[in-house]
Amino acid sequence: MPYVVDTIEVDPVSLASYLEAVEQLGVPVMTAAGASFVSCASTSADIGERVDVQTVWAFADHSEWNVIRRNVVLDPRWYEYAGRVAALRKGGTRRFYYRADFSPP
């Protein structure tokens, strides 16, 4: 099962707003589109540097990911979510990961 891992940088003062947007807007839109929510975690906002927020989604294969992407762009809620998080984002990456055979399920 592949995972899409978004690691987004935000200013410490924006962490609560970013997490709220992921929880209240992103998770409902992505799960309705067919993605499985795996986790959301962040680095500390207390050390005086930008915070990394990592959000992980699972899906069966890249064919399913293409369906999820199509479903997302057809959902008007996506644009509210994207606009809100874009205003808070300072940088970041999106990567696709694949579990190693020896990793626990």
Neighbour count for residue 81 (Cβ, 10 Å): 20
Residue type (1 letter), 3 = Y
Structure token pair of residue 47: 């050390």
User: Which residues are CB-neighbours of 20 under 8 A, at least 6 positions away?
Assistant: none
Cβ-contact 58, 2 below 8 angstroms: yes
The predicted model gives 3-21 an average pLDDT of 97
Per cent of the chain over pLDDT 90 is 95
Whether residue 105 is predicted with pLDDT greater than 80 in this model: the reply is no
Report CA 53 to chain centroid distance, whole Å: 8
pLDDT at 104: 86
Provide the whole-model pTM.
0.92
CATH class, range 2-98: alpha beta
Task: Break the chain into its structural domains and give their ranges.
Answer: 2-98
Rounded to an integer, what distance in angstroms lies between the CA atom of residue 26 and that of residue 98?
Answer: 22
**28-61 per-position pLDDT tens digit:** 999 999 999 999 999 999 998 999 999 999 999 9
